[in-house]
Structure 1
Amino acid sequence: MISYRQKEQWFDHFSSVSLEESYEMCMNLLDENIPDDELIEDDFGTISVELKSELIQEKQYEKAINLIEKIKSTTTKLYRKEFPYLSEFAVEYYLFKKKYEKANAHLEPFIKNPDHGYDMFLPLFDKIRFYQMDDLAIKLANQLYKPIKESPELIGGAEFDLLDVIFYHIFQELYEKLEKNEEIDIQQLKATFKKYEYDDTFLDKDFPEIYHTLKTMASRNGAAAFTKNEWTHAVHDNAQNAIKTLFWSFAVYMLKRGKFHFSLSTDIWFPFFNMLLERETLQDFKFGYQDVDELTGKFFGFMSNKKERGFALTWGVPYIYDFLFEQELVGRESYDEALRHIDAIKKRLRYLYKEDLWRFDFVHTWVKPLSVSEESFAEEEQRFQKTFLSPPRKTFSSPSAGSKKNIFDDLFNEENNRPKKPKAAKKKARKQASKQRKKNRKK
């Protein structure tokens, strides 16, 4: 094996070898105690991130993790510079493997360097919430809220994802106290909201309304928030207020039924109900396949960092209809029709992401929807988990002729019909990259 001390030979050889040999060369390099400044100057960060990505693409996850851990343990400056592009996968991997201490270790640099790679942190934050690791999510939200809000490197409002979780956690704790008939310090609650810069309009109008709604629900112990007739009138009077009021009932329902944090319920409820509001079908809760196709399709795309939210919404809508059916706000026919449309979108997503379904397996940590049998739920969970071990796909096929055209077709063609580079092309690309790195080192 060529030592990195023979730099020119090392790069020439690296640009022409297989993925397995590239991995071995980088792992050996990290044992040579090369100074961080030298590695940074030689653009080893780019090399390691590209190698990690190739290993992941080939589903060599253990090697990708070994590389990430090696860089983390043997370098300081280099890892600090590149951690968002390395530890992002490590957190995702360890969450799936239920190795939570290791996941926490890779979250630490995001906490210590909050404005470096924040856009890569947010999908991880979503995933932590969707895995229902609520204590960790609340801790992260509180730790990062102020530094993200005050960061000169980030756009205004970057902290809102964190603030939403804090906001709904305050109201979840309030509901739990009301349910136990514990004393509520209203002034202390208002002071807490003021700390997060909520204005007097919220404190004097919105807060008392939410407090009253939650207090009523706590005393009614799960009784229906609206009769069908009351709902019709509420939508007619003020549709947006009706959506918000019914949401709190849904949030309590999911807290009791599946220990869903209030903030998790918002990710399911509000995107879906805003779609119904736009369609003007709030009174009967009806929608078509194309409506929900367009809604969920907004979360997906080659460069999207909201795929987790797309899966959470799609797999979450059945809980909304379980709730509406139990509240007698929809009948059996509407219930079944809604679930047929959602099942069609699920089928499409399972096909589109059939290589990487394990990344979204958090939906099987949730309580089973009433509309899904135990057998089907277990079979789907197994299908998601198997994709972690299945070999990478080598060939692709187009959707069958005459299949229904929808927003996912463009995404399907974009991701799955893009031809993979043959090995010769990969070697050529590596050589070109090596030449560029040599130029960079001479500058």
Structure 2
Amino acid sequence: PEGIDTWWNEFDKLEVDGKLDLLYNTFGREEEEEFREDLFDAVDEVVNILATKSRVEEGIKLLETLKEQRPAQYMADYMYYDNYLLHYYAPQGEKERMNEIIKHFEGDPEKGVDYIAVALDIFRLYGMAEETSELSRMAYKKLKNSEEIMSWGIDELNQRAIFCAIREYITSLNYGEEEAERAFLKDLKGLDFWEEEPATLDDKRLQNTVKTLRGEIKRDWKREDFLISNANCEDNVYLFVIEFIRYLHIEKSLEWVTGDLFFELIMKYFGEIKERRRGFYFSYSKECLDEYLGSYFGFFSLNDAKGMAGLKAHEFFSSFMHQKGIIRDKELRKIERVIEELNVPSRELYERNTWKYRFLEAWM
């Protein structure tokens, strides 16, 4: 329509401050339906420009004004707008804002499923255990029978929710008592932990996970335990990286859910190294690590925050392996050099988007 074309012609000619003023003036006017849809691109453009100019607060104010003055329009594209608010308010510990975002997802989780995954990453990066638990449980239960969502996406939601259930059990004041065990069993049943009956907490993998996280099982690991030719290599890898979660909690003071994110980052890297039939499972190479990090960054990627945590996860993991005697001094130094080289572009990205990656400050 002619009115929209005229508006865009004016918008395109303006510098960012002029664009901002035009948007505020436009919010206060009634516009035809077609223009409401068109306005999304303009708002998104201005918020991005402001963020690159270290004026992110002004971008957030713009979104808050849109939400207040045009709530229906905001909710039509809520997951895109909320994604900015999520990155901005999470490091400030704004629980009320986080709960509002969760409620938005609850209305139509199928529509927002990709952004639910992002929100779960952000919650875990900032150690927000309650929010991680609430969102993962809600999303899994509402989406588990959806025909629109890929099965791996449902599985990931399920894994997040199950870890939250385990975390709540191992940190409960009455851990190990009959009442706590009954509640834990009921919780896991509700999350479809067992594919077939009988459902029992005696499940070997579950017991190993719980007791490893609690520090009740201590293993004397050897390098040979992680040779690909070892018949138990897969189980050993899983339990070792579970032990890493406890190390992060006890020695690095990271929340359990942050440890779960690091577990995911570590398992993804080693699990995706191609064509390995022999050798040491926890092998690093600059080429593989660079390719792995690159998978989190792309023009349309929503996983950049998770990618920014990747190198720190591997830095901590290599230290953990060294502490356990799994790798030698020389190997540790080699891994550290690779990480330091790959850190250069990451630092540049951090400096351009500090507001999005505040979680890194707590780990420096």
TM-score by length of 1: 0.69
Q: What is the SS of the residue equivalent to 2:110?
A: coil
Equivalence map 1:44-443=2 (5 Å):
44-151=39-146, 153-176=148-171, 181-183=176-178, 189-197=184-192, 198-200=194-196, 207-212=203-208, 214-215=210-211, 218=214, 220=216, 223=218, 225-228=219-222, 231=225, 236-257=230-251, 258-261=253-256, 262-274=259-271, 279=276, 283=280, 285-366=282-363, 377=364
Deviation, 1:101, is 3.1
- State the alpha-carbon separation in 2 of the partners of residues 50 and 96 from structure 1: 23
Counterpart Cα distance in 2 of 1:298 and 1:268: 12
5+ residue gaps, structure 1: 1-5, 367-376, 378-443
**What is the CA distance between 1:81 and its match in structure 2?**
0.9
Query: Does the CA-based 8 Å contact 2:225-2:233 persist in structure 1?
Result: no
Aligned partner of 2:269: which letter?
A: F
In terms of mean alpha carbon deviation, does 175-184 or 348-357 score higher?
175-184
Matches of 1:85 and 1:179, distance apart in 2? 41
Asked if the contact 2:86–2:119 (Cα under 8 Å) also holds between the matched residues in 1, the reply is yes
Q: Which amino acid aligns with 2:55?
A: Q
Higher RCO (C-alpha 8 Å, min separation 6):
1
- Residues 126 and 359 of structure 2 are in contact (CA less than 8 Å); yes or no, is this contact kept in structure 1? yes
Report percent identity of matched pairs: 20
Cα distance in structure 1, aligned partners of 2:182 and 2:273? 37
Contact 2:315/2:336 (CA < 8 Å) preserved in 1? Answer: yes
Change (3 A) 1:287 1:281: farther
Q: Deviations over 1:400-440 (max 9, x none)?
A: xxxxxxxxxxxxxxxxxxxxxxxxxxxxxxxxxxxxxxxxx
User: How far did 1:126 drift?
Assistant: 0.6
The separation in 2 between residues aligned to 1:8 and 1:322, in whole angstroms, is 58
Aligned counterparts of 1:345 and 1:202: Cα–Cα separation in 2? 48
Residue 357 of structure 2: SS of its match in structure 1?
helix
**Inter-partner Cα distance in structure 1 for 2:89 and 2:223:** 49
Give the whole-Å Cα distance in 2 for the aligned partners of 1:152 and 1:302. 28
Alpha-carbon distance between aligned partners in 1 of 2:107 and 2:122, rounded to the nearest angstrom: 20
In the TM superposition, what are the counterparts of 1:22-37 in structure 2 within 5 Å?
Answer: 22-32=19-29, 34=30, 37=33
State the 1:10 CA deviation.
5.0
Report if aligned partners of 1:87, 1:107 keep a CA contact under 8 Å in 2: no
Residue identity opposite 2:68 in structure 1: S
Could you say if the C-alpha distance between residues 105 and 174 of structure 1 is closer, same or farther in structure 2, counting changes exceeding 3 Å?
closer
1:256-296: CA deviation from partner (whole Å, max 9, x where unpaired): 22233252232233123325796467648442222322222
Distance in 1 between residues matched to 2:271 and 2:131, nearest whole Å: 29
* Aligned partner of residue 90 in structure 2, secondary structure: helix
Q: Bigger CA drift: 186-195 or 132-141?
A: 186-195
Q: Structure 1's 340 and 67: CA in aligned 2 closer, same or farther, altered over 3 A?
A: same
**1:150-199: per-residue Cα shift (whole Å, max 9, x none)?**
44554444333322211112233344469965447656544433332331
Structure 1 Cα separation of the partners of residues 339 and 45 of structure 2? 37
Mapped pair 1:21 → 2:15:
no
The question of whether the paired residues in 2 share the 8 Å contact of 1:299 and 1:309 is answered with: yes
8 Å contact kept, 1:177–1:183: no
Structure 2 length as normaliser, TM-score?
0.82
Amino acid at match of 1:351: E
Shift of 1:75: 1.2
Comparing 268-277 with 248-257, greater Cα deviation is found at 268-277
C-alpha separation between the residues in 1 aligned to 2:39 and 2:100? 23
Q: Which amino acid aligns with 2:22?
A: M
CA–CA distance in structure 2, aligned partners of residues 154 and 265 of structure 1: 25
RMSD: 3.5
Local SS of the residue matching 2:235: helix
Moved over 6 A (4+): 6-9
1:68, distance to aligned residue in structure 2 (A): 0.7
1:138 Cα shift?
0.9
Task: Report how far residue 96 of structure 1 moved.
Answer: 3.7
